[in-house]
């Protein structure tokens, strides 16, 4: 039986220490985070050095890795203190730093020797000559441009042995490899220095103004124009990615919830493990695809992997498919004697709601909430208060760390 020896890494996002632990618990081999400087997600829950230490300790205990994104496009003065920052990452035990700006790459290599450097997708690497150049500079991995197709990745792999990382799931930026200037000009927030206002997600219209104060839309179908791309989902094409030689499967979403991180990491863990264990008899399971739709914010497509995206890969008109679940809580413990789940609430739920428990290794169970108590055993009908502790009788055993969704009516 043929197996895949070099199993691709599942690389998940984490905007907080909680999300980091959830990602690892739900199957991620590695997690990428941001520090308090040099990153492109200023609004994400970026990590202090102390939080990084805690994250590295947790990752080490679970045989996982932590990467730090320091991928800004640096202006004058932006690189001050970068050498000390990178040395601190190295000494904490960070597995690699993800960089796009050549000045920061040089600083990381020369002033923090021993800290592996990965090239960010922001650098728009689209050919093997560029890959070999970056390898000669001293980088061990390149995050490919999102505009690269499967056929191009295969050609790259034939001509280079540098590690290849590619996005497989999550939001896609309308700017080439994420290098956008819309936010700079429309919101005075530099997207390439961590301040993206996501102007591409706004609705736009085209107007004629025949008279002062008179505004007439020129869009005949009445649908406002958008530059908003659908999301990427490569769950149906895991064999192509593996056989093309991608070393790391990257999931987008450092600002997403633990519901998203746990679900997406869980699904791709199952798919990658299944394919690598027996590629000749691999079967895509419909429940994997269905699971991803439970956390989808937009429609999904394969991006540039199989050709140039069309209008179908943009968000126009009514959504073609909507998620039908909302995240309502996390299991803190399980009372085996009374068959009770102790839950930390994250969204309003109560008696009569249809809920679903899910956990690592793709465990699932569904039931209706028949009774509900607070932590003091007082009867409840709803659990409306954020982060409150409550108890629910369950029909199947659950474990601490399992998540709970509520089916929308």
Q: Name the most confidently modeled range: 125-139, 224-238, 290-304.
A: 125-139
Across 341-369, average pLDDT: 96
Identify the H or E element spanning 263.
Answer: helix 258-277
Task: Single out the residue in 287, 313, 339 at which a domain terminates.
Answer: 313
Q: Are the beta carbons of 242 and 276 closer than 8 angstroms?
A: yes
Average pLDDT, the chain: 90
Final residue in a domain of this structure, among 259, 279, 313: 313
- Mean pLDDT on 326-339: 96
User: Do 248 and 396 belong to one domain?
Assistant: no
DSSP, residue by residue, 179-195: ---HHHHHHS--GGGT-
| Beta pairing partners, 231 | 300
pLDDT band, very low/low/confident/very high, at 172 (cuts 50, 70, 90): confident
Asked whether the predicted pLDDT for residue 150 surpasses 90, the reply is yes
213 and 333 assigned to the same domain? no
pLDDT of residue 183: 60
Clarify whether residues 20 and 91 are in a common domain.
yes
Domain holding 351: CATH number? 2.40.30.10
Query: What one-character DSSP code corresponds to residue 379?
Result: B
Per the structure block, which two tokens stand in for 29? 């081999």
Q: Is 379 within a domain? A: yes
For the ranges 14-18, 117-121, 187-191, 283-287, which has the lowest average pLDDT? Answer: 187-191
- pLDDT over 90 at 292, yes or no: yes
Task: Outline where 28-181 has alpha helix (H).
Answer: 49-61, 82-92, 102-111, 128-137, 150-159
pLDDT band at 328 (very low <50, low <70, confident <90, very high): very high
Distance CA 218, CA 206 (A): 6
Q: What is the mean pLDDT of residues 184-199?
A: 60
Q: Per-residue pLDDT averaged across 345-369, rounded? A: 96
Residue 213 pLDDT grade (very low, low, confident, very high; cuts 50, 70, 90): confident
What pLDDT shows up at residue 404?
Answer: 98
Same domain for 248 and 162: yes
The owner of tokens 């991180």 is 261
Note whether 203 and 55 are same-domain residues.
Answer: no
Any domain includes 255: yes
pLDDT at 120: 95
Residue-level pLDDT at 222: 60
Residue (of 128, 132, 74) closest to 106 by Cα position: 74
The answer on 367 and 306 residing in a single domain is no
| pLDDT value of residue 91 | 98
Alpha helices in 163-257 (DSSP H): 182-187, 238-244
Q: For residue 201, what are the domain limits?
A: 180-185+194-217
Determine the pLDDT at residue 195. Answer: 61
Residue 101 has pLDDT above 90, yes or no: yes
The answer to the question of residue 2 being in a domain is no
Examine residue 319 and state whether it is found in any structural domain, yes or no.
no
43 plus 122 within the same structural domain: yes
pLDDT value for 407 = 80
- pLDDT for 181 equals 66
Task: State the average pLDDT over residues 176-195.
Answer: 61
Any residues with CB less than 8 A from the CB of 280 and at least 6 apart, and which? 1, 2
- Domain of 161, CATH number, reads 3.20.20.70
What is the number of structural domains in the chain?
A: 3
What's residue 45's pLDDT? 64
Is 280 among the domain residues?
A: yes
Which of 286, 313, 340 is the last residue in one of the domains?
Answer: 313
Long-range contacts of 22-26 (CB under 8 A, 24+ apart): 22/258, 22/261, 22/262, 22/401, 23/261, 23/262, 23/265, 24/58, 24/59, 24/62, 24/64, 25/62, 25/262, 25/360, 25/401, 26/261, 26/262, 26/263, 26/265, 26/266, 26/269, 26/360
Q: What is the pLDDT of residue 177?
A: 63
Residues 279 and 387 in one domain: no
Asked, for residue 222, whether it belongs to a domain, the answer is no
Q: Is the pLDDT of residue 187 over 70?
A: no
- Answer whether residue 243 is part of any domain: yes
* Per-residue confidence band for 333, with pLDDT thresholds at 50, 70 and 90: very high
**pLDDT value at residue 408:** 76
d(CA 73, CA 321): 36
Mean pLDDT along residues 249-275: 96
**In the predicted model, what is the mean pLDDT of residues 146-162?**
96
Query: 213 and 126 in one domain?
Result: no
Domain assignment present for residue 162? The answer is yes
Distance CA 94, CA 64 (A): 11
- 60 with 146, same domain: the answer is yes
More confident residue, 254 or 394: 394
User: Both 207 and 237 in a single domain?
Assistant: no
Do residues 233 and 372 share a domain? Answer: no
């Amino acid at each position: 039986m043929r197996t895949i020896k070099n199993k691709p890494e599942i690389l998940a996002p984490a905007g907080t220490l909680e999300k980091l632990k959830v990602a690892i618990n739900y199957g991620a081999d590695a997690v990428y985070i941001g520090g308090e400087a040099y990153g492109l997600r200023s609004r994400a829950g970026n990590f202090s050095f102390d939080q990084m230490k805690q994250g590295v300790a947790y990752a080490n205990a679970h045989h996982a890795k932590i990467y730090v994104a320091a991928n800004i496009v640096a202006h004058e003065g932006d690189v001050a203190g970068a050498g000390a920052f990178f040395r601190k990452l190295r000494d904490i035990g960070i597995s690699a730093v993800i960089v796009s700006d050549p000045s920061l790459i040089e600083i990381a290599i020369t002033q923090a020797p021993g800290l592996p450097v990965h090239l960010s997708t922001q650098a728009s690497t689209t050919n093997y000559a560029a890959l070999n150049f970056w390898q000669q500079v001293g980088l061990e991995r390149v995050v490919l441009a999102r505009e690269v197709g499967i056929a191009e990745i295969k050609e790259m792999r034939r001509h280079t042995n540098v590690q290849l990382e590619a996005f497989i799931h999550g939001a896609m930026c309308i700017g080439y490899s994420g290098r956008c200037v819309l936010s700079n000009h429309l919101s005075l927030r530099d997207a390439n220095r961590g301040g993206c206002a996501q102007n591409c997600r706004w609705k736009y219209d085209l107007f004629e103004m025949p008279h002062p104060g008179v505004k007439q839309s020129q869009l005949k179908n009445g649908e406002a124009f958008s530059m908003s791309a659908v999301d990427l989902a490569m769950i149906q094409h895991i064999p192509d990615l593996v056989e093309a030689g991608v070393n790391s499967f990257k999931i987008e979403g450092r600002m997403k919830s633990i519901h998203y991180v746990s679900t997406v990491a869980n699904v791709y863990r199952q798919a990658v493990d299944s394919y690598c264990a027996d590629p000749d008899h691999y079967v895509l399971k419909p429940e994997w695809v269905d699971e991803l739709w439970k956390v989808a914010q937009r429609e999904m497509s394969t991006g540039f992997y199989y050709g140039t995206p069309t209008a179908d890969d943009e968000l126009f008109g009514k959504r073609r498919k909507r998620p039908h679940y909302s995240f309502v809580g996390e299991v803190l413990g399980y009372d085996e004697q009374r068959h009770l789940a102790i839950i930390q609430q994250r969204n309003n739920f109560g008696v009569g709601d249809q809920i679903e428990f899910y956990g690592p290794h793709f465990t699932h169970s569904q039931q209706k909430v028949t009774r509900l108590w607070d932590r003091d055993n007082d009867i409840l009908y709803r659990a409306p208060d954020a982060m409150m502790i409550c108890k629910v009788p369950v029909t199947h055993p659950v474990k601490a760390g399992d998540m709970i969704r509520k089916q929308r009516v």
